[in-house]
Chains A and B, each alone.
Chain A
Amino acid sequence: MSSISTSAQARTGINIGELVKSWFRNTEFVIFLIVVILFIIGGSINPRFLQIENLKILTRDSAMLAIAAVGVAFTILVAGIDLSVGSIVGLGGVVVAYFMMVWLLPIWVAIPLTLLLALAIGMGHGLFVTKLKMHGFLITLVTFGLARGAILVLTNGFPITGLPEEFTTIGQGYIANLIPIPVVICAVVVAIAYYLLRFTFVGRQIYAAGGNMEAARLSGVNVDARIILCYVLSVVCAAIVGIITAARLSLGHPAAGEGFELQAIAACILGGISFKGGEGSVLGVLVGALLIGTLQNEMIMLNINPYWHKIVISLVLLLAITFDYVRRRRRA
């Protein structure tokens, strides 16, 4: 009821106080506000934090996290999860390097082939989840281990080096010497995901399947197909991040992406993707990733002992989850 009355008042422009209040009820806005505050704090303690060079790094890191997080968000929207993200980031980078350096495939073959492999893995996840009614946690936990193992078999534990410059540009290059290419890729991914979820019937059916699977199914929604799509998108997004990572490091590193699933899932939760499914937006995930990216960058710029970084990120996550559950209990 309250949201109805506030939007009505907003339209007539009578009650500005109510309007501001409704903004604060909006998770995306609150998270964005925290990012702004982090910027102000960071900039005032260390002016270099706000310089262009650092902002390039910050946005590039955040963009890579955002791409992976948007992928995971799809699986959480259908009341699942994808724990394989970090391992897939590693696998994507190693496989694309392997295709180029061992099989000597050209870039324009190596990259699509890598994405195709990701698609197959995601499809496998989706089939287990829909046909065997297995929780996504379990099957993606298997891939979490399998993919990391496959990396070691492919590389013998050594990085695959010597990647060509056309390829490394994907991770290291800039548009107009200002905007990192990963940020551009992120913008494209976010735009597609946003459009898909917000405006297409497929997106609506994903929300419906996550909100009430049985009701969606009985309304004729092909719930299985939607869930499989979500798991495919998750692995494909992670593989894209893997490719970018390899390009950025100029090598396929076997340890790349370790622990990345924690950050990606944290970005989703911070951005308001409900673990019950069917609730949350891509924009939320984007600001969630931006928050984590900013926090990490700031900890480096403010010379905080790197051993503490994981603790800080996890505490932020704890805070966000607690806040979310307290709010939900009050609503119930």
Chain B
Amino acid sequence: MSREPLLQIEKLSKQFPGVQALDAVDFEVYPGEILGLLGENGAGKSTLIKILSGVYTKDAGTILWQGAPVEIHSPHHAQILGITTIYQELALVPQLSVAENIFLNREPRRVRAAGLVDFARMKREAEAILADLGVELDGAKKVQELPVAAQQMVEIAKAISRNARLILMDEPTSALSSKEVVALFDLMRRLKEKDVSVVFVSHRLEEVLQVVDRLVVFRDGKRVGELSGAEATDDARSPSTSSSSKGERASEEKIIRLMVGRQVGLFPKEDAKIGEPVLQVQNLSGSNGVRNVSLTVRAGEIVGLAGLIGAGRTEVARLICGADKLDAGQVLIQGKPVAIKNPSDAVRAGIGWIPEDRKNQGLVLGMDVKQNTTLAILKRISNAVGTVRADSEKEIASEYVKTLSIATPSISQQVGNLSGGNQQKVVLAKWLSTKPRVLIMDEPTRGIDVGAKAEFHALMSRLAQQGIGILMISSELPEIMGMSDRVIVMCQGRVTGEFDRANFSQEAIMTSATKFLALDALE
């Protein structure tokens, strides 16, 4: 790579409230290169992609595009420069045809003044662009009738026809079958021949190793390592299959170590008396992708549920809480089987759920602290006529504002006006007021700043000491390892590992979390 880089980034930084998403990162992409970008959830990969695609603006640092400094101020601007991003959710108009999408807003005209579109020419040219990329598609077909993989290719063709020089792909393979992945990789190699560069984010290490020229690993907003194509792929491409898998293993382990190899922060985990099982889940399966999951949470125990995004952890929680429909399996609370058909059954059974998306699923933002706190126990605090007892409502809300130290001017404050950490405490208050036996917390500290995080963790320890069983879903390994008594790892809807606190190891957890992903790509 002696050539001038296409894109060169120096000391790029981006801060969000409470998080240094990117910390003085250097990054470069050469022309005609396929670059893999790896890192844990929250390592800063997506932030980097969003800055390059003009969604976020950088706080500091310089971006050199084809040798000249640029400020990318909007997604449109990024496209004009020649940087196109293919997101997980595709940006095509599903009701229009393939050709119409590729030529959107610059359709070939027949009679210029009349504004008539030359559909025949448009279809012909669209098919030629696709064929050039090795894709055979009917240009007249509606995009919504195509599988996701083909839609992705249409989007790439659209980008190429607009002279894109750099294509950023965030998890492009997550929705594809193994065969489709192979086709996508072929397409990537063709792009490379055309001197177009590709930056490719994926959790699936095996895949990444198959196609990239170079790998860059991020951790905690910093660039922590780089592997050249030779290091990463030469072993993998050696003729003998046995040595191939060995080589892959070796480079994978190296990469995982780079991804997670950090000091686990201090977590205020205190020992609690662990008692009888409060939540037992047996052979749980659901149409949402959960397959035969069994797990147990005991009184006073914090069980961490680890895995990559899309591993099915939230879906397990949704099944236990009655939010999604159960196909098979049983839920036991304190040893007794309970039938959970909807969320109110779960509430009655003593299960509380702090969902991942607190604004859309946890809180009614237009209501105040008091009303949100009592939302799950309204019937209990109402009299025979159904009138909510205002005094008990106030009493309960004030009590939780005090014990959880929720920073709010009053219990009549709208929760929409509180900070993220305090909003999360209101959600917690809502569930504590139901006197739960089990609390399921889905990414409980996401998006809240560091101080509030530690405070929330301390609260979790206190709740465990009071005998509540906690099942905590988290994508942050340090949080999982810092707070859990036991860790259960999931991958593709199944449980792939279980570790006691004494046997915690980041490498082992990550290996379990990617167990089926590597196998899939080998098919």
Contacts and interface: CB of A to CB of B under 8 A. Distances in A.
A200 B409 CA distance: 26
Given A4-B412, A212-B360, A222 B344 contact: yes
Interface stretch (A18-26, A149-157, A203-211, A261-269): A203-211
Contacts of B376: 219-221
A1 B408 CA distance: 10
A219 B323 CA distance: 10
A220 B361 contact: no
Given A219-B347, A222-B344, A211 B375 contact: no
Scoring A212, A217, A220, A279 by chain B CB atoms within 10 A of each residue's CB, the highest score goes to: A220
Contact of B355 (A199, A201, A218): A218
B323 A218 contact: yes
A276 to B, nearest CB: 9
9 contacts: A4-B412, A199-B387, A208-B367, A211-B366, A212-B363, A212-B364, A219-B376, A221-B375, A279-B366
A220 B378 CA distance: 10
B353 A214 contact: no
A278 B366 CA distance: 8
5 shortest interchain CB distances as A-B pairs: A220-B347, A201-B378, A220-B344, A211-B364, A219-B376
Given A4-B412, A208-B375, A214-B361, A220 B382 contact: no
Interface string A222-238: 10000000000000000
B277 interface: no
A216 interface: yes
A221 B387 contact: no
Contact of B382 (A201, A212, A217, A221): A201
Interface of A: 1, 4, 199-202, 204-205, 207-208, 211-212, 214-222, 278-279
A200 B381 CA distance: 10
A215 B388 contact: no
A204 B344 contact: no
A46 to B, nearest CB: 43
B245 interface: no
Contacts of A202: 386
A211 B417 contact: no
A245 B367 CA distance: 38
Given A216-B364, A218-B353, A218-B361, 20 more contacts: A1-B417, A4-B409, A199-B388, A200-B386, A200-B387, A201-B382, A201-B386, A201-B388, A207-B364, A207-B371, A208-B371, A215-B362, A217-B323, A217-B343, A218-B321, A218-B343, A218-B355, A219-B375, A221-B344, A278-B364
Nearest to B385: A200
Nearest to B363: A215
Interface string B347-369: 11000010100001111111100
Contacts of B413: 4
Given A216-B364, A219-B430, A200 B382 contact: yes
Contacts of A4: 409-410, 412-413
B375 A216 contact: yes
B346 interface: yes
B402 to A, nearest CB: 18
A290 B356 CA distance: 45
B379 interface: yes
A220 B343 contact: yes
Contacts of A278: 364, 366-367
Given A200-B385, A204-B388, A216-B375, A211 B347 contact: no
Instruction: Point out which of A199, A204, A207, A218 has the most chain B C-beta atoms below 10 A from its C-beta.
Output: A218
A220 to B, nearest CB: 3
B133 to A, nearest CB: 40
A213 to B, nearest CB: 9
A245 B385 CA distance: 32
A215 B427 CA distance: 10
Interface centre among B343, B353, B410 (most CB of A within 10 A): B343
Contacts of A221: 344, 375-376, 378
A215 B361 contact: yes
B343 A219 contact: yes
B283 to A, nearest CB: 24
A42 B388 CA distance: 43
Contacts of B364: 207-208, 211-212, 215-216, 278
A222 B343 CA distance: 9
Nearest to A209: B364
A221 B344 CA distance: 6
B426 to A, nearest CB: 11
Contacts of A1: 409, 417
Contacts of A199: 387-388, 390
Contact of A215 (B344, B360, B379, B381): B360
A200 B365 contact: no
A175 B77 CA distance: 72
A279 B376 CA distance: 20
A204 B382 CA distance: 11
Contacts of B366: 211-212, 278-279
